[in-house]
Amino acid sequence: MKRKLLIDIAKSLLFARWKQTLVAAIGVTFSITMFITLLSFMSGLNDLLDGLILNRTPHIKLFNDIKPNENQPVKLATEYGSAHHFIESIKSDANRQSIYNSEAILASLKKDKRVLGFSPKLTAQIFFNDGSIDITGAMNGIDPIEESRLFHFNDYVTAGNSADLTKISNSIILGKGLAGKLLVNIGDVVQVTTSKGERFQLKVVGLFQSGIRDFDDVQSYASVSTVQKILSQPSNYISAIQVKLNDIKLAPKMAKEYEQLYQIDAEDVQTANSQFETGSSIRTLISYSVGITLLIVAGFGIYNILNMMIFEKMDSIAILKATGFSGTDVKNIFIYIAISIGIFGGLVGLLFGFGLSATIDQIPFNTASLPTIKTYPINYNPKFYVIGIVFSFITTYFAGWFPARKASKIDPVVIIRGK
Amino acid sequence: MSTTILEAKHINKYFHDPIRVQVLNDINFSINKGEFVSLTGKSGCGKSTLLYLLSTMDTDYEGQIFIDQEEMPKKNEGFLAKIRNEKIGFVFQFHYLLNEFNVLKNVMLPGLKLNKYANEEVEHRAMEKLKILGIEHLALKKANHVSGGEKQRVAIARALINDPHIIMGDEPTGNLDKKNSDMVFDIFNRLSSELNQTLLIVTHDPGFAERTHRIIHMEDGRIIH
């Protein structure tokens, strides 16, 4: 009841100066609109750029690295156990590239609850033969269905269907640049030669475009079994396991765990692509600071307008106090005014921000390197809207608090005497 | 008859700026229920200062003030605001109506703040007060659309809304012409005789003061008689 009365008074004061109020609200609206648009656009762009690499990158990659053996023979000599060894001309191990006991590892990954999914991979160096020309290329053996589910492989297949790799035997998907060099299209047959000199005829079932040109000029994809056949290897031969986790943040910890558990090399996405993380976080930081600056400026606008209002309404404040409204009541009235400007301006700002983002989302954005993107990227994360409204509430509260405190301290005697 | 409504004991008041000056010197008096008292004196004798102390709006003084036999604390702003709301009605030289509201709402505000009656009841009571003052036809007009004399009557209605123990006036006729001054006096007189309302009015209009029941005359911060 008492609060209702104070809100009633606040409302009357607000509408009595509705033009000023509107200007203050427009300030908040503008800043919230820009805040939402900026963050949505920036974070859409971040997601796009990260997605370029991170979507296609496994969170953890299990493989056998080519490196010298850490346990050199001299280490086994117990009498020199505490000595420092100088060993020269170490060569990397003639380690085989396939993963030992891959089937058992796959079975154990399947049981791990933290793992969203995984797909095996193996790579072969091959030559594409086109008449007298041999083009060096790489052939990746993948499970196209899992690869599409986990690493968006199908998004980059611009012609044909990735699932055909499993349906049609001896089939291949070529990078767009590579297909251009070989002058082949879907349905044509390409001839490849392995490093051991064996020749195979493979049918092209699709073309892919990753957005990275160097990549598209040399890479090709086939099913795991096709590549195993080309390499004359058994069906348990795989050179890497790509793991995708439910929570990407666990990757560094789990990579270490898998290294221990499977006696294998494991690389996590944070280590492999640390530059992306840095870029994203700095872009996000910039957008937030610009957005919050806008809000603080709007806050100063509200502060000014309330200060003016208090100056004009000195008499009213004095009589309210003389007739029994306490300082706290007066303070609350002005805080209600500030907050209602903030909430109203903020909500309209959210709507406008959504509208502006949606408009940007419609603007065509075609680039050869990004086949899946047709318009400017926008991230409609509700988080931005929540932050926007909370911040507009907080800044207007503080913008109102200082003038309101001043109003509450007005001494009615001074004003009434002054007349 | 003799319930004491307002009592002042040994009131001393100093102004500190720019130098320490004593403006009130050992003021003692009391007002009983139903009395119509005027407080007179020359400009600067401290009569308005005394009124603001009695009204609890100024708390910087020495001595004790009792309203309705209850001593007023010098701190506790919230409590004093409540006392002003419930027990004191004010009429100032200037009307101080809120232009954002209509006449009725202006009268209702202190009643709504008191929060003793429901909204409709407060509205009904406000209409009654306006009727007593003969201005019920103005109820729905904006406060800045009525004449000066009418504004002062609205201010009196506002002072009456919570049935205060005492109405304090600070030169309530100071801004009005003879006709309106007489009308305001008549209203006060009627409140006093018909409703047994206690009134304490600061004035330097001798004609006004003479017609009240009792005159407290001040000079140089003291009560002369």
- Work out the percent of chain A whose per-residue pLDDT is above 70: 97
Taking contacts as CB-CB distances below 8 angstroms, the residues of chain A near B98 are 12, 316, 319-320
Asked if B46 and B54 touch (Cβ cutoff 8 Å), the reply is: no
Binary contact (A323, B57; C-beta < 8 A): no
Whole-angstrom distance, CA of residue B127 vs CA of residue A327: 29
Token pair for residue B106? 């202006």
The pLDDT of residue A171? 92
Token pair for residue A374? 């047709």
The pLDDT of residue A268? 87
Domain boundaries, chain B: 35-61+70-223
Binary contact (A324, B84; C-beta < 8 A): yes
Per-residue pLDDT, averaged over B130-146, amounts to 85
The pLDDT of residue A408? 85
Q: Quote the pTM value.
A: 0.70
A359 has pLDDT over 90: yes
Q: How confident is the model at residue B2 (pLDDT cuts 50, 70, 90)?
A: low
Q: How confident is the model at residue B114 (pLDDT cuts 50, 70, 90)?
A: confident
Task: Centre a 10 Å sphere on the Cβ of residue B79 and count the other Cβ atoms it contains.
Answer: 13
- Work out the percent of chain B whose per-residue pLDDT is above 70: 99
Q: What SS3 class is residue A405?
A: helix
- A interface residues, B as partner, C-beta within 8 Å: 1-2, 5, 9, 12-13, 15-16, 315-316, 318-329, 411-413, 416-417, 419
The pLDDT of residue A370? 66
State pLDDT tens for residues A365-391. 877 666 667 888 888 989 889 988 898
Domain boundaries, chain A: 2-54+276-418, 60-75+95-270
The pLDDT of residue A210? 79
- Residues contacting residue B174 through CB under 8 Å, at least 6 positions apart: B93, B203, B205
Question: Which of B113, B114, B175 to mutate to probe the A interface, most A CBs <10 Å?
Answer: B113
Taking contacts as CB-CB distances below 8 angstroms, the residues of chain A near B55 are 322
Binary contact (B158, A329; C-beta < 8 A): no
Closest CA–CA distance from residue A4 to any residue of chain B (Å) = 10
The pLDDT of residue A415? 76
Binary contact (B84, A318; C-beta < 8 A): no
A285 has pLDDT over 80: yes
Binary contact (B90, A5; C-beta < 8 A): no
Q: What SS3 class is residue A128?
A: strand
Nearest to B84 by CA among A9, A12, A413: A413
- Residues contacting residue A310 through CB under 8 Å, at least 6 positions apart: A317, A334, A403, A406, A407, A410
A205 has pLDDT over 90: yes
The pLDDT of residue A223? 92
Taking contacts as CB-CB distances below 8 angstroms, the residues of chain A near B110 are 323-324
Higher pLDDT, A344 or A269: A344
The pLDDT of residue A77? 81
The pLDDT of residue A347? 92
Token pair for residue B18? 């720019």
Taking contacts as CB-CB distances below 8 angstroms, the residues of chain A near B53 are none
Residue of B nearest to A6 (CA): B113
The pLDDT of residue A207? 92
- Describe chain B by its helix, strand, coil percentages, rounded to 5: 40, 30, 35
A95 has pLDDT over 70: no
> Regarding beta strands A219-223 and A133-142, do their DSSP bridges make them parallel or antiparallel, or are they unpaired?
parallel
Per-residue pLDDT, averaged over A338-360, amounts to 91
Whole-angstrom distance, CA of residue A88 vs CA of residue A82: 19
The pLDDT of residue A418? 65
Those of residues 164-193 in B touching chain A at CB distance below 8 A are 170
The pLDDT of residue A173? 93
B206-212 own/partner pairs: CB under 8 Å, 24+ apart = B206/B40, B208/B38, B208/B173, B208/B181, B209/B38, B209/B40, B211/B185, B212/B36, B212/B37, B212/B38
Helices and strands in chain B: count of H runs, count of E runs = 7, 10
Q: Does domain B35-61+70-223 have CATH number 3.40.50.300?
A: yes
Higher pLDDT, A253 or B17: A253
Whole-angstrom distance, CA of residue A15 vs CA of residue A11: 6
